[in-house]
Amino acid sequence: MIDEPNPAVTMTSGVRGLIRFARPARTRFLIAGALSAVSALLSLVPFWVIYRTIEELVTGSATRSQLWTLAGIGFVVIIVRFVVFGVSIAVSHVASYEVLYGIRLGLAEHLARVPLGRVTRRRSGEIKKVMGDDVERLELFLAHGIPDVVAAVVTLTAVPIWMFTVDWRMAIAAVGVVVPAFIAMSVAMQRSMRNMNDYHSSLSAMNASVIELVRGMPVVKVFNRGSDRVRDAERAVDDYVDTVKRYSADFLPLGTAFFVLLGANVALIVPLGVWLNESGSLSDVDLLFFFVVGLGALLPVISLLQLFANLNHLTSGGNLVNEILAIPVLDVRTAGSGPADSSVEFDDVTFSYDGPDGRAVLSDVSFLAEPGQITALVGPSGAGKSTVAALVARFWDVEHGAVRVGGADVRDMTPDDLARHVAVVLQDTFLFDDTIAANLRIGKPDASSDELVAAASAAQAHDFIIGFPDGYETVVGERGTSLSGGERQRVTLARAILADAPVILLDEATSFADPENEVLIQDAIGRLVHGKTVIMIAHRLSTVMHADQILVIDGGRVVERGTHTELLSHEALYAHLWGDYTSSESVALGDAVRGGLS
pLDDT of residue 84: 93
pTM: 0.59
CATH T-level assignment (fold) for domain 344-597: Rossmann fold (3.40.50)
Count CA atoms closer than 13 A to 70's CA, side-chain side. 17
Sign of CA dihedral 317, 322, 323, 327: positive
92 vs 52, residue with greater confidence: 92
> What is the structure's pLDDT at 374?
87
Instruction: Say yes or no to pLDDT of 72 above 80.
Output: yes
Q: Which one has a higher pLDDT value, 217 or 12? A: 217
pLDDT of residue 130: 72
Higher-scoring residue by pLDDT: 280, 317: 280
pLDDT at 23 over 80: no
SS3 percent helix, strand, coil of the chain, rounded to 5, is 65, 10, 25
What residues contact residue 402 under an 8 Å CB cut-off, 6+ apart? Answer: 345, 346, 347, 348, 349, 409, 411
Domain ranges (residues) in the chain: 7-177+263-325, 191-259, 344-597
Residue 523 is inside which H or E element, if any?
helix 515-529
pLDDT band at 229 (very low <50, low <70, confident <90, very high): low
Specify the DSSP element, H or E, that contains 278.
helix 266-278
**pLDDT for position 358:** 66
Task: Specify the range with the lowest mean pLDDT, choosing from 232-246, 315-329, 498-512.
Answer: 315-329
Q: Please indicate whether residue 481 or residue 557 has the higher confidence score (pLDDT).
A: 557
226 has pLDDT over 60: no
Indicate the range of 132-141, 476-485, 586-595 predicted with least confidence.
586-595
pLDDT range class, residue 441, cuts 50, 70, 90: confident
Q: Tell me which CATH homologous superfamily contains domain 7-177+263-325.
A: ABC transporter type 1, transmembrane domain (1.20.1560.10)
Residue 525, CB-side half-sphere exposure with 13 Å CA sphere: 25
Percent of the chain with pLDDT over 70: 78
Q: What is the model's pLDDT at position 347? A: 92
Nearest to 180, CA basis, from 288, 298, 346, 295: 298
State the Cα–Cα distance between residues 237 and 205, nearest whole angstrom: 9
* CA pair distance 172, 167, nearest whole angstrom: 9
Among 239-253, 385-399, 521-535, 554-568, the least confident range: 521-535
Residue 539 pLDDT > 70, yes or no? Answer: yes
Alpha helices in 351-484 (DSSP H): 385-392, 415-421, 436-440, 449-458, 462-466
Q: How far is 229 from 216, CA to CA, in rounded Å?
A: 9
Asked if 339 and 538 count as a contact pair (C-beta separation under 8 A), the reply is: no
Q: Say what the pLDDT of residue 434 is.
A: 86
pLDDT for 587 equals: 43
| Residues 6+ positions from 166 with CB-CB distance below 8 Å | 286, 289, 290
More reliable by pLDDT, 6 or 364? 364
Question: What is the model's pLDDT at position 83?
Answer: 93
| Among 499, 404, 413, 504, residue whose Cα is nearest residue 455 | 499
Closest CA to 527 of 447, 462, 448, 431: 462
- Which of 445, 444, 446, 482 lies closest to 465 in space, CA to CA? 482
- Determine which helix (DSSP H) or strand (DSSP E) holds 174, and give its type and residue range: helix 168-175
Can you tell me the mean pLDDT for 468-487? Answer: 81
Report the C-alpha gap between 563 and 570 in whole angstroms.
Answer: 11
Give buried/exposed letters for 430-463 (b at 16+ CB in 10 A, else e).
ebeebbbbbbbbebbeebeeebbbbbbbbbbbbe
pLDDT band at 79 (very low <50, low <70, confident <90, very high): very high
> 478-483, long-range: CB within 8 Å, 24+ apart, which pairs?
478/433, 479/430, 479/431, 479/433, 480/429, 480/430, 480/431, 480/439, 483/431
Render pLDDT for 309-343 as a digit per residue (tens, 0 to 9): 666 566 666 666 777 777 777 776 666 667 888 88
Residue range 177-197, pLDDT digits in tens: 877 887 887 788 777 777 777
